[in-house]
Each structure stands twice: as C-alpha cells, then as structure tokens.
Amino acid sequence: MDRRHFLQSASAAALASTTMARAATPAVKPVRLGVIGAGSRGQEDLRQFLRVPGVSVEAICDIYPPRYEQVNRLVGKQIPNTTDHKELLARNDIDAVLIASPVGCHAEHVIASAQAGKAIYGEKALGFTVDDNHNILAAVTSSKVLFQIGHEYRYASWAQEAIRRVHAGEIGTPTHCYAYWHRNGDWRRTVPSPDPDKKLEHLINWRLYRETSGGLGTELGSHHIDMANWVFGEQPTSVIGTNSICRYRDGRTVGDNVQAVFSYSQGRRLVFSSITDNAKLGCEFWIYGTEGSVQITIEDAYFFYENKKSNAPSADKANSKTVVERGVVTGASYSTQGEMPYRGPGEKVVTATSEDPTLASVRSFIGAVRGEHSIFADVHCGFRAAIACSVAHDAVFTEEKTAIPATKIPQV
Amino acid sequence: MGTDFTLYLYSASPSAAAAASQEVFDEVDRIEQLLSNYRDSSELSRINQNAGNGSVTTDPEMLDFLQQSLHWSEVSNGAFDITVGRLMKAWGFFRHSGRVPSDAELEQLRAVTGWQKMKLDPAARTVQFTTPGIELDPGGIGKGFAVDAAVRILRADHISAAMLSAGSSTVYALGAPPHQAGWRVVVPGPLPSRRTLSVITLRDTSLSSADCSQKNFTLGGHLYCHIMNPQTMRPVEGVIQVSIVNPSATASDALSNVIFVQTSAQSVATLKASAPDSRALIVTSKASGDAVDARCTTYRWGSPVDSTHCLP
C-alpha cells in the first residue's frame, strides 16, 4: 500500500467511525443561539451552552470589538458579529438569545428580544431599576416568549435536594438565611491604555460604577436573594442596609463591601454580606431552622442538626434528668456545649449528579426551548430577586429601611 | 490541579499589575473547574462519569484539550496516556494514600486504561469511551494547559514581561525583563543536594520538569514515583528528572511525562519526530532513582550542564 492509498483508507475509516458515533447519538432538535453581551459571564454561559447536544452559536452582539475574536476562539469558528442588538434579533437563523450584557442594558435587550419573539436566557439580575423590572416582566409575559433567568443555583442538584428537605421540615421551621459572598480581590478588570476619557474604564469596569451597576448586592447578592425567596416561598418586603469603601479607593462609586437585611413575612430574614478583602468564608448560603441548619455552597450542601431540646412529657431515661414539677413528671435531655460554635462535620447531601449548576441551568433551558418541559427559574423568579436588588441598590446608600414593591402581574 | 501558581510581571502601575494578576488567577480557577478530577462538578468529571455510557457533548476548549492529549499519546506510543485515572487510584496517588496493587488487579485495570479507548468526534463536539469505567487523569498535561490559557490572558492585556509558574513544574517566560535577553531559570540538580545543574534563559517559551519529588510514597524501603508507565502499569523506575523546553506549555508538560517514561534514546527520537524545536535535559540512573550514578542526556539544550552531577 502506498502512502496515498494508506491516507485514503485511513480517511475512510475515520469517516466510518464518525458516522457510527453520530448514528449512536440520539437525534436532537438543533437550537441556534444568538448572544447579546459576550463579556466574561457571557463567555462562560456560552461554554456551557456548547456542552449541550445540538446547540450552535450563530451570531453575537457586543459593543467591545475584542470580544469577537474571544468568542471565535471559544466557539471554534468565525461567528458573525454586530454592535446592534436589533440587527442580531432580525436574523431568522436564531431560535434563542443569551443576554449577558451589563445589568443596565437588560431592559432594552430583553424587551426587544421578547418583542422579536425569541426564547431568552437572561443573565441575572433581571433588570436594573424598579421600573426596568416591572417593564421586563410585562413585556415577557405579554409576548408569551420563553424566558429563563440565570439563577443557576436553582438547577444545582445539591441545592434542589437540600431545599426539598428543608421544605419537608427536616430542619424544623426555617426562620433565617445568612448569605456570605466574600472575596479577596478588587473586582477590577484590566483596561487597555491609553484611556484618556475613561470610556474603556466605564465600559469594561461597569460593575464598579453606581450608574451602571448594583454593586456587590446585585451582581453577587441576587443569587442569594433568589435562594432565600425559594426557601421562604415569597419575595422580601423591605430591606435595610449599608455599604462603604474601606479598601479600594480607586474611583469606584459602589461599595467594596455591602451588608443588607431583607425582611420576609412572619419576621423571617435574609442577612447578606459581601466583602472583597477577605475570602475566608467564600460563597456560602446558610438556612437556619428551629431544628437544624443547611450550608449550601457552589459545589455541595451539608446539613447540621441542633442539639435536641424537648420539654414534652416523657418516660425517665438513663441519660436524661428527671424533674418533678408541680406533681408532673417531665423529662428533658440537653448536651451542653456552652456557646461554642459547632466545628464538627455535617451530613453531606448526596445526589446522583454533581453537574455544574450553569450547565444544568442552560441544559434545562434548551430542553424548554425544545418543548420538553416548562421553566423553573422563570421571569417571575427573576423579578422577585431583581426587584429586591433594585431597591437595595439605593437603600444601602440611604441606610433607611425601604419597602420592596410586589409584582403587578400575578404568576399564573 | 491542586497546585500553587506564582506570577511575576512587569507593569506600568501596581493597579494594572494587580488587575492583570487577578485575571490570570481567575483564568487558572476557570481551567481548574474545567479539568479537576477532584471536583465532581468539573467538565472532566462529567466526562468521566458519562462517556462510558455514550457520547458526551462538550465545548471546543475541552475538545482541544482532549485532542492534544490524544496527540501526545499517539506520537509517544502511549508513554503519555490521559486514561490512567483508575491506575493512579489503584496505586493510591489520588488523595495521597499510596499502595501497591496486585498483578491481578493491574491486569484487570488494563481493560479500563488505554488512550485508544477514547474516541473524539470534533465535528459533533463529542467524546466517548469504548469501554465503561475509563477515567481521565489530567495530571500529566493539565497544568501546562492552564499555563497556556493564562499566558493568553497576559498577552491580551499587553503584558510584555512575565513569568508564570505552576507549582514550579511548568513555567512560562513571557518576553523578557527590561534590558535582559530573557528570564534566567535555574534547573536544580538531582536530590538531595539540589545544586544547580544548568541555567537556561527563556523567552516566549515554557519549561516543564518532572521528577519523583513532586508526588511519591515509600513502602518497604522502596520509593514509588507518581509518574506511571502506562505500558507496564507501574511507576517509572530509573529516571531522576527531566526538563523540557517548548513554546507550548501544554506540549512541554505532556512531553516531560513522555520523556520520563521513555528511554533516553526513545525520547530523542520522539522529540526529533514530533517536537523538533524542543530542548531537553534528561537525568537517568542505572539504579532506581539513585542520583549517585546519574547520567545526563541533552537534546538541543544549548546551555551549560554541570557535569559533576553526571557520569561521563
């Protein structure tokens, strides 16, 4: 066999192998994606979308040209690009859009996409201002397009199982959520120089400026607010908070640390803290109930249980004190540990899969686009978290207790 | 990867340096989440869990990583093999609990080891194992892949001089410090003295080193090295250390394992055929890992080697 024939044989074998591999894969309905906003988060979403069978990327819209080459590299081919989202939405080869633009642009981009009849995967937060959130909710519900918000922890298997168990009463009555998103970094992205009029600074570091960003409370806290909403089954009614700049005095106008308390019915609370100069706690979400606690992180979840305290009448037990009070025999057991925090292990939540939450989230969205199921993290879910973020955005500056408006459009 | 990354860079301002550093370490974190076999939610773990049951769709970056892995397996006749995950666990190199598996156990593991059992379909972005139970281990190539990704960030940020080190086993020299021809990197000699074996100047290229000090265990007085020979299913014996220079950190990382596994003559042949622009310094011994009778072999190394480390 000469070299030419060998290569032909090898190619034929490779082709046959490829055909067999494809034949073994169940056919899936293709879903063609357009992308509005292809920065760091948009690119991470894109990677996850490309891990779902049948998904292709057909066009991107971004006003910062270096993103085009980054996306081409990520997707592995040249992707048509534009700076005009209307041009992208006018394409007839797009089934769904990923919107990962800065939060201040969400209303314009989501409403235009809904009016264009596209299915939408919208990054959180839903909208920037209170009005934005109401307008987005109205546009999405009236257009009846599919919309999923990027609250991916709703799709994390360990979070779903943990909250299912909380709702089943495993930690008693959940009364408080404490959420921490602590980092050690200035949250700043590199800006090309020269940049004399600071245009690039504001374009790239939009998260650092109050007119374009809800700061840590929105960019990070919206996930935790959504989780508290999930636990409590409602949105918060008010917020009180504060913020300051205690380390990064670099011209930013949002705090480099934020603390806020969100009020729910029956006195229940979410306490949120984000600092950016100490990462010991990392990202963790605690649910405190009357009989136990749950810690949910970006990778797993653990249950911890309170020491049992029971005052119910019971038989005398070897390990419990028996007291006679007013002629009634009661038993009570209590293991003392003072006020020391518990530092032992918890019970890990075991699930069949540990798939990355964003992958699970976008996979579910694609399933909904294909008509396989409805959307869990829908536009109402996005509204309930984002409206709290929008109010907290100002409340952490006024440091006054501020009411959070409810939706004007009831969820059907 | 579970390793410490260190970055030195020259920048116009401390704030620009801090921002670039943050982006680099964010990228390393991202690659960790892509490739870690210690994280259940990583993309590599997802492939390990599912590719034995059918084809798994993945993203182009992961596919590129797998293609590069297969390439180095193919050109090295399996001296490098990313499918050694189960083998590494059997020897206790996963979570540091060293043990010596029985011959029968090793024979059974042959069924779930072998790069030929991983099939890629780039057009469909899929990966599939022809045999259930295969596990990928990124240990011999992942750090290099992360370094290459991080260097792309540095270049995009217009950083002209930087040195990135991944646990010191893979380093990348970007540009050169001011008024220098490149970054001077010391290659230490064999243990235990670690006296300088060679000093090499690097510019826009990577250097990866492999030796048994990075991960090993001792049982019955015998040192077992974490670098596995996929053909014998046993840790490599008789090689003290290798260092290899290649413009791609992914390539140099994989090649450091290839050369550690192959004989010196095989290594030189592999380099000539598949990575001719590389440079390599190989230290072997007649006895197992004994530095006393070390021998040095070079391939286009180009820098002086302290011959007191090596037998003539």
Judge: A299–B45 Cβ closer than 8 Å, yes or no: no
How far is residue B276 CA from its own chain's centroid? 18
Q: Does B42 touch chain A (CB under 8 A)?
A: yes
Please give the helix or strand (H or E) that residue A379 lies within, else none.
helix A379-398
Which one of B41, B49, B58, B157 makes the best mutation probe of the A interface by having the most chain A beta carbons within 10 Å?
A: B41
**Which of A50, A188, A355 lies closest to B46 in CB terms?**
A355
pLDDT of residue B1: 63
Confidence of residue A311 (pLDDT cuts 50, 70, 90): very low
CA distances, B292 to each of B218, B260, B261, B308 (Å):
19, 18, 20, 11
- Considering only CB atoms, which chain B residues are within 8 Å of A17? 119
Residue scoring higher pLDDT (A369 or A321): A369
Question: Are A189 and B39 inside 8 Å of each other by CB?
Answer: no
Q: Please indicate whether, in this complex, the C-beta atoms of A25 and B54 are within 8 angstroms of each other.
A: yes
Average pLDDT over residues B105-127: 95
Candidates B309, B264, B267, B312; CA nearest to B291 is: B309
The angle, 0 to 180 degrees and rounded to 10, between the axes of the packed helices B249-261 and B264-274 is: 150
Pair of tokens at residue A60? 């991107």
Please state, as a whole number, how many other Cβ atoms lie within 10 Å of the Cβ of residue B246. 23
Closest by Cα among B70, B156, B153, B155 to B117: B70
pLDDT 10s digits, A252-262 = 999 999 999 99
Residues B232 and B261: their CA atoms lie apart, in Å, by 10
CATH number of B175-309: 3.10.520.10
Q: Which two tokens stand for residue B78?
A: 């399996």
Domains of chain A with CATH codes: 27-152 (3.40.50.720), 154-352+378-403 (3.30.360.10)
Query: For residue B39, what is the nearest residue in chain A, using CA coordinates?
Result: A299
Residue A317 pLDDT greater than 60, yes or no: no
Judged by CB atoms closer than 8 Å, whether chains meet at B41 and A24 is answered as: no
Rounded to the nearest integer, the mean pLDDT of chain A is 89
Q: What is the pTM of this model?
A: 0.87
d(CA A140, CA A150): 15
Alpha helix (H) residue ranges in A170-213: 199-204
Task: List, as ranges, residues 102-121 from B with C-beta within 8 Å of A.
Answer: 119, 121
CA distance B40 to chain A (A): 6
Ranges A161-175, B222-236, B279-293, B296-310, most confident = A161-175
Residue A175 has, within 13 A of its CA and on its CB side, a CA count of 8
Chain A CA closest to residue B16: A190
Q: Give residue A310's pLDDT.
A: 45
pLDDT of res. A142: 97
Q: State the burial class of residue B44 (Cβ atoms within 10 Å of its Cβ: 0-12, 13-18, 19+).
A: buried
Number of neighbouring beta carbons within 10 Å of residue A268: 18
Smallest Cβ–Cβ distance between B58 and the set A17, A24, A51 belongs to A51
Tell me which chain B residue has its CA closest to the CA of residue A76.
Answer: B60
Residue with tokens 């069949």: A352
Beta strands A119-122 and A96-99: pairing type?
parallel
Ordered DSSP codes for A229-287: HHHHTS--SEEEEEEE-SS--SS--S-SEEEEEEE-GGG-EEEEEEESB--SS-EEEEE
pLDDT-derived band at B19 (thresholds 50, 70, 90) equals confident
Complex-level ipTM: 0.85
Could B18 and A353 be called an inter-chain contact, meaning their C-beta atoms sit closer than 8 Å? Answer: no
Statement: residue A401 has pLDDT above 80: yes
Within chain B, residue ranges assigned H as helices are: 14-35, 43-50, 60-75, 85-90, 103-110, 142-156, 249-261, 264-274
Do the Cβ atoms of A53 and B57 come within 8 Å?
A: yes
- With a cut of 90, say whether residue A358 has pLDDT above it: yes
Distance from CA of B61 to the nearest CA of A (A): 7
Nearest to A189 among B23, B55, B58 (CB): B23
What pLDDT score was predicted for residue B187? Answer: 92
Residue A161 phi/psi, 5-degree rounding, is: -70, -40
Q: Which residues pair with A337 in a beta bridge?
A: none
Tell me what the mean pLDDT of segment A158-187 comes to.
Answer: 97
Q: Which residues of B touch A297 (CB under 8 A)?
A: none
A179-210 per-position pLDDT tens digit = 999 999 999 888 888 899 999 999 999 999 99
